[in-house]
A = this chain, B = another copy of it.
Amino acid sequence: MKIQEITAAELDTQVFIEEKTKEISSLVGKGLAINALSGGVDSSAVTMLGHKALGDRLKTYFIDNGIMRQDEPQRIVDLFKKLGVTVEIVDAQEKFFQALKGITDPEEKREAITQTFYKDVFGQLVKKSGAKYLLQGTILTDVDETVAGIKRQHNVFEQLGIDPQVAFGYKIIEPLVQLRKDGVRKAAQALGLPESVYNRMPFPGPALSARVIGEVTPEKIKIVRQATVIVEEELSSTKAFQYMAILHQDKVTGIRDGKRDFGLQIELRCWDSIDARKAVPTALSFNTLSGLAQRMVNEVPGVVSVTYNITNKPPSTMEAI
């Protein structure tokens, strides 16, 4: 089952939107569909397409996993409200933190988040909603990175805790599967989404938990969330490809009010890159770096030390874990 790629250059957004809307309408018929919105460009574009096709018969949920950026759930809900789309926030923070408890291995963290999302939270919503149609923001790059076609969709049902044997009743709809990221951005813009969405800086699936080295706790997320606010405020004007704050597990010595204070270290990364395959640290001015460090130690409780990553990718990666 070879998927026919549509490159960004050849993408006619009006034709694409019309075709995909019709396709979704005819597939779902008079049924109900469901999707999860993360605020990323893929799930945002799917949400817009689905609502164009189905209106209120698409139920869109924003799962608040507790590891989002400052005010992110409400900001996204408000944004879609302006576009006429109702999104329901599902508070699942406790479930995610419970699943992350005691886990320090980065792969296991990722797995715990995926499992909790599908099995414990979204799987339950799917079953409860009665919707048989799942809209997903899968893009061609995702397909390349996993197994293609039916096997992949089969895996989604397994992840959702829906027995693939009885999954015949369910159907996964992937309207973006012929596009790559640049095509999705183009479509998202044509769908009326604002630039903050269609040009959104890459942000990892495991959200802020990818920015905490070691065990993820509500306290650590709070710290890295505050640091992220500062980085985004200070570096948005740089137009860098991506920038981030990472909370380390290692403690380092600091000094506060003349007293020794083992404290926290925040690592900052800011990347120049074309396509994320290679990247170099942005040559930020020393003034900018000092200002960032100053704000971190003044505004983020417990932080006594701030570093800036100076390694190229490769051998570094963009994210720390």
Contact = CB atoms under 8 A, between A and B. Distances in A.
A108 to B, nearest CB: 13
Contact of A315 (B255, B283, B317): B255
A250 B214 contact: yes
A311 B305 contact: yes
Contacts of A254: 314-317
B307 A267 contact: yes
Interface string A164-198: 00000000000000000000000000000000000
A289 B263 CA distance: 25
Contacts of A315: 254-256, 261, 263, 297, 304-305
A310 to B, nearest CB: 4
Contacts of A293: 310-312
A147 to B, nearest CB: 19
A23 to B, nearest CB: 37
Contact of A307 (B106, B280, B296, B307): B307
Interface string A282-296: 010010011011101
Nearest to A303: B315
Contacts of A313: 255
Number of copies: 2
Interface in A130-168: none
A253 interface: yes
A304 B308 contact: no
A238 interface: no
Contacts of A249: 249-250
A58 interface: no
B306 A310 contact: yes
A285 to B, nearest CB: 9
A252 interface: yes
Interface of A: 106, 213-214, 248-256, 260-263, 267-268, 280-281, 283, 286, 289-290, 292-294, 296-297, 304-317, 319-321
